[in-house]
Amino acid sequence: MLDILYNRRSTRKFSDKKVDEEAIHQLLKAALLSPSSKNSQPWEFIVVDEPELLSQLSVSKPHGACLLKHAPLAIVVTGDKTKSDVWIEDCSIASIILQLAAEALGLGSCWVQIHRRYYNDDQTANEFISELLHIPDHLEVLSVVGVGYKAADRPALTDKEIDWQKVVRNCYDTANNEK
Ligand SMILES: Cc1cc2nc3c(=O)[nH]c(=O)nc-3n(C[C@H](O)[C@H](O)[C@H](O)COP(=O)(O)O)c2cc1C
């Protein structure tokens, strides 16, 4: 696990190799076992592998979704607001679990943010995707996780790039924390 956490990078370029059904099953199993507040499990996942739908997902917002066009697989993470007041947290955890499970399976992935993003001036990215995939009204799209085999490995961040200033011991403004 630490190896995965220390080395994981977002993958935006994928090889042509398809993700097989067993790997998809393992990814979803991990996501469905994610922790959630009060165990409400407010998520539903949509597995998308049709090229035309992937192409449409890639234009769900003007920036940052284009990687989905050439991804072999996307998992749309949706949440049911009526099941949890913290569905965003729960679905975010499920999204990162999907990404970590993908790494464990030798796959790469990238989170595409949908919540609070816009397709255009008149339509949210959530509305656009909900229309495209006929998502029922009680669900809202939090993210789309693009998944596939990595076209190339990206280097892990180095120790020098880790910002330890973001860690405080006990209280702010104590002698312990003098930089
Ligand atoms: C909440 C969240 C939203 C993100 N949204 C996008 C996105 O819309 N498009 C994208 O290409 N990457 C997105 N990312 C990936 C980040 O850009 C990436 O994690 C960050 O730059 C650090 O790079 P790394 O994952 O390679 O360590 C998102 C990540 C998070 C956690």
Query: For ligand 1, is residue 100 a contact (CB within 6 Å)?
Result: no
Please write the tens of the pLDDT for every residue from 89-128. 999 999 999 999 999 999 999 999 999 999 999 999 999 9
Our mutation pick for probing the ligand 1 site, out of 4, 9, 10, counting the most ligand atoms within 8 A of Cβ, is 10
Query: For ligand 1, is residue 111 a contact (CB within 6 Å)?
Result: yes
Would you say 78 and 141 are in contact if contact means Cβ atoms under 8 Å apart? Answer: yes
DSSP 115: T
pLDDT at 176: 61
Would you call 86 exposed, middle or buried from its count of C-beta atoms within 10 A (0-12, 13-18, 19+)? middle
**Pick from 112, 115, 34: nearest CA to 75:** 112
Q: Domain 2-154 - what CATH class? A: alpha beta
